Amino acid sequence: MWRYPSYFGPGSYTADRMINSLACAERVLSVANVDLARNAPHVTSSRGPTRDGRFKPDIGADGTDVVAARGFERSRPWMAMTGTSMASPYVCGVAALMLAIAPRLTSAQILGIIRTTSTPLAGHDFAWRNDLGFGVIDAAACVEQAAVYKKARESSQL
């Protein structure tokens, strides 16, 4: 059923399709790591498309030199990290804010809003890119569109 391994090895790596198989599922929102200070995707971020040609990653988010709370260690409460492991929680938080406003949003609607409200990096266009997806997430625009959805849903139920 799974034609590709979920790790990179000599037989599975290609220069333009190095996105992990776990990020290639149909209803998984795949996130690229963007270095906003350099206005570029981070070199460690996986590129798409999927090996069967689908657009992944979906969206880019700041994941370079992010300072976050460190759990379980009181002597060092903060840590700085770089990677999609920092970019992905940001996107997840935006989706959570959208659901807080409009709990009936489906995963497809959330993905659609995130994609259509994204913004390209300076000098780039709005087309999907193998290193950034559909652009950089715009959290405020995502939340605004969730509110628009909620208002439209409420007015149609009257």
Tens digit of each residue's pLDDT (9 = 90 or more) over 147-156: 999 999 888 8
pLDDT at 72: 82
What is the average pLDDT value for the chain, to the nearest integer? 87
The domain locations on the chain are 21-156
User: Can you tell me the distance from the alpha carbon of 58 to that of 130, in angstroms, rounded to the nearest whole number?
Assistant: 9
Number of Cβ within 10 Å of residue 14's Cβ equals: 10
Which tokens belong to 152?
A: 């439209």
CA-to-CA dists, residue 139 to 92, 99, 114, 118, 119, angstroms:
11, 13, 8, 9, 10
User: Can you tell me the distance from the alpha carbon of 27 to that of 6, in angstroms, rounded to the nearest whole number?
Assistant: 17
Q: Write the pLDDT tens digit of every residue in 14-27.
A: 556 677 777 877 88
User: Can you tell me the distance from the alpha carbon of 142 to that of 119, in angstroms, rounded to the nearest whole number?
Assistant: 11
**Domain 21-156 CATH assignment equals 3.40.50.200:** yes
pLDDT at 52: 85
